[in-house]
């Protein structure tokens, strides 16, 4: 019997936002078609997966009724800590693929396994000899990096910064020093309700001629991006829509 | 008069490949629609931009005849050295946007300004106060990272490795040491005709339990990906289609 494949299925970036972009505007037809025919899913959250599949079904009939789909959630511990440490054995989740059915992996927004859980499932699939196929879709980190005009030949994504004020300032100085010395653009994110505090900390901590770029609400109608030296950010104080998902980039 | 916007328009990943994926399979309708209505372009290469626009026109009529489009190439020096150093003043290329016309920025494959020229144009647009809008499409680095199952909470793209054998081995050891110590996944690329030599150098240089992942021909029918410890790569010697564009990832 042939094994099924593991498809990495991107989700739109409007998760948790008040407005949504029409799905076909940001998601290729090829991705929508594959997602519509899968009978088994592994996901970050079953409820948001069903909501996404409902949006898909408005463009392309699902091969299986929503109620008939196998939807398995990743354990909550995997979300919280990230699952790249390699302690979680995801192989049992892939049973349907071992039995010949294609499986989808999906997170709440963007690409699974990037700034989101899922990498343990991908590793398990490779260990089981399953074919892994990543599908195209909106990728917030790359949309933000391109929009920043910062160095795209050498960049790093470092996740979240510390919440404690002192540790956060120290980490910001560390990232700035790395960016200025090596030319490597540094990307990071924050939960939306902490975005304003992070921007304030960045403007207080960074040097005036360091370049800072923000992209808020990528792919949404209200999408907003700005890239300028820190001195210009301080002078102009633009009203960025920081309640939307935001990617921060700094560099020289 | 209102200023035009700068749209960052992704291109399919099959540039220079013998086979092409149907455009609508990998490119969202929203991206195709914007690209079809633009009258002015800044690009890496005018010939491949016209070929891409011809593919777009088969799905969506262009608002302006191909011959009537303003297509400006980035100077060759900007391609070669990367244009993140900030010495090239791209503002004159954006004249059409200052006069109220939307402009597209496009490279030969994937997202402009990421592992490709274009960042000087994006910086110039921000400096001129133009709105910058990045459109969704296939992003090889993120498709490869997700397919690797390696740490997607902390990763870096470092471009090309040195061509000299000794320097290359030293750089590989440096990247491995960084990945093992900090957990930061390291991504890099090579021109296709050097992919086989790079893989050989990686297998000779890396430690047996370091994890190595390759994605070849992403989004193509022949797409191939594998993620395994170096010891397993040495044991199995899989026949990777290294003549296709390939992204290399290493981590723990």
How confident is the model over A129-174, as pLDDT tens digits?
999 999 999 999 999 999 999 999 999 999 999 999 999 999 999 9
What's this model's pTM, rounded to 2 decimal places? 0.96
**Residue A141 sits at the chain B interface (C-beta within 8 Å):** yes
Beta strands in B18-137 (DSSP E): 40-43, 70-73, 103-106, 132-134
Chain B nearest-CA distance from A200, in A, is 21
> Which pLDDT value is given to residue A98?
95
Pairing type for strands B224-229 and A224-229 reads unpaired
> Which pLDDT value is given to residue A76?
79
In A181-240, the residues whose Cβ lies within 8 Å of chain B are: 183-184, 213, 215, 218-219, 223, 225-228
Contact criterion met (CB < 8 Å) for A84 and B152: yes
pLDDT band at A26 (very low <50, low <70, confident <90, very high): very high
pLDDT band at B140 (very low <50, low <70, confident <90, very high): very high
pLDDT band at B125 (very low <50, low <70, confident <90, very high): very high
Instruction: Reduce the DSSP state of residue B196 to 3 states and report it.
Output: helix
**Residue B125 sits at the chain A interface (C-beta within 8 Å):** yes
> What does the alpha-carbon distance between residue A11 and residue A136 come to, in Å, rounded to a whole number?
10
Question: Domains of chain A by range and CATH?
Answer: 6-134 (3.40.1010.10), 140-251 (3.30.950.10)
Chain B nearest-CA distance from A16, in A, is 19
> What does the alpha-carbon distance between residue A125 and residue B226 come to, in Å, rounded to a whole number?
10
* Average pLDDT over every residue of B23-36: 96
Q: How many angstroms from the chain centroid is the CA of residue A28?
A: 17
Instruction: Please state whether A105 falls in left (phi above 0), alpha (psi between -120 and 50) or beta.
Output: beta
* Average pLDDT over every residue of A51-72: 95
């Amino acid at each position: 019997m042939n094994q099924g494949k593991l498809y990495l299925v991107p989700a739109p970036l409007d998760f948790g936002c008040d407005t949504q972009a029409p799905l076909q505007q940001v998601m290729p037809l090829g991705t929508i078609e594959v997602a519509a025919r899968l009978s088994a899913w592994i996901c970050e959250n079953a409820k948001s997966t069903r909501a996404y599949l409902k949006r898909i079904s408005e463009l392309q009939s699902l091969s299986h009724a929503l109620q008939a789909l196998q939807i398995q959630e990743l354990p909550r511990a995997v979300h919280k800590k990230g699952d790249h440490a390699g302690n979680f054995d995801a192989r049992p989740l892939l049973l349907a693929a071992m039995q010949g059915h294609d499986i989808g992996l999906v997170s709440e927004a963007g690409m699974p396994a990037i700034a989101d859980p899922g990498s343990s499932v991908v590793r398990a699939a490779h260990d089981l000899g399953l074919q892994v196929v990543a599908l195209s879709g909106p990728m917030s980190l790359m949309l933000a990096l391109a929009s920043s005009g910062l160095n795209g030949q050498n960049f790093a994504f470092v996740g979240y910064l510390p919440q404690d004020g002192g540790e956060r300032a120290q980490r910001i100085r560390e990232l700035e020093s790395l960016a200025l010395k090596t030319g490597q653009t540094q990307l990071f994110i924050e939960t939306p309700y902490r975005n304003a505090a992070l921007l304030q900390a960045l403007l207080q901590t960074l040097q005036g001629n360091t370049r800072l770029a923000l992209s808020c609400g990528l792919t949404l109608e209200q999408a907003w991006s700005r890239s300028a030296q820190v001195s210009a950010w301080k002078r102009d104080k633009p009203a960025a829509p920081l309640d939307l998902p935001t990617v921060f980039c700094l560099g020289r």
